[in-house]
């Protein structure tokens, strides 16, 4: 995956994750800011999806397992959507914390995808 896209995704997910976590612990309910945060992550992941499909179509593949890479990517795409839906059920500070968890989960998955793609594999 392109190094720039990886870095952008990684740090924005970390920012959104920690930001929402902090807002939640401060007692803020989910609102426009947190929703936009999740939307940014989702867009970033979609960009990664498109980029990866283009790369694979052009003959590139993950160093370790392309199938595993896309499995993680599909999983990651679901997380912000599910988190936002869930936050609509109960508009409390804990729902905001869940949005934080979503961001941090994306961090983990992005790191994992990078490992799988570049072959620095655990």
Binding footprint of other proteins on the chain (CB under 8 A): 65, 68, 71, 75, 79, 83, 86, 88-92, 94-95, 97-98, 101-102, 105, 108, 121-122
What's the closest the beta carbon of residue 70 comes to other proteins, in angstroms? Answer: 12
Q: Whose Cβ is closer to other proteins: residue 6's or residue 94's?
A: 94
What's the closest the beta carbon of residue 1 comes to other proteins, in angstroms? Answer: 19
Half-sphere exposure of residue 40: CA atoms within 13 angstroms, side-chain side = 19
Q: Which residue has the tokens 């994992």?
A: 112
CA separation for the pair 16, 10 (Å, rounded): 10
Q: Whose Cβ is closer to other proteins: residue 4's or residue 75's?
A: 75
Q: Whose Cβ is closer to other proteins: residue 1's or residue 21's?
A: 21
Assigned token pair, 3: 């190094």
What's the closest the beta carbon of residue 39 comes to other proteins, in angstroms? Answer: 18
Residues counted in the chain:
122
């Amino acid at each position: 995956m392109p190094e720039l896209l990886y870095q952008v995704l990684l740090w924005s997910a970390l920012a959104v994750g920690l930001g929402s976590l902090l807002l939640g612990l401060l007692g803020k309910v989910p609102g426009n800011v947190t929703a936009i945060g999740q939307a940014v992550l989702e867009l970033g992941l979609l960009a990664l999806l498109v980029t990866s499909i283009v790369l694979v179509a052009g003959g590139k593949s993950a160093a370790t397992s392309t199938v595993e890479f896309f499995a993680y990517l599909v999983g990651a795409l679901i997380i912000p959507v599910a988190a936002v839906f869930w936050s609509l059920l109960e508009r409390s500070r804990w729902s905001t914390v869940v949005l934080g968890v979503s961001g941090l989960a994306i961090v983990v998955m992005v790191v994992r995808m990078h490992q799988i793609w570049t072959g620095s594999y655990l």
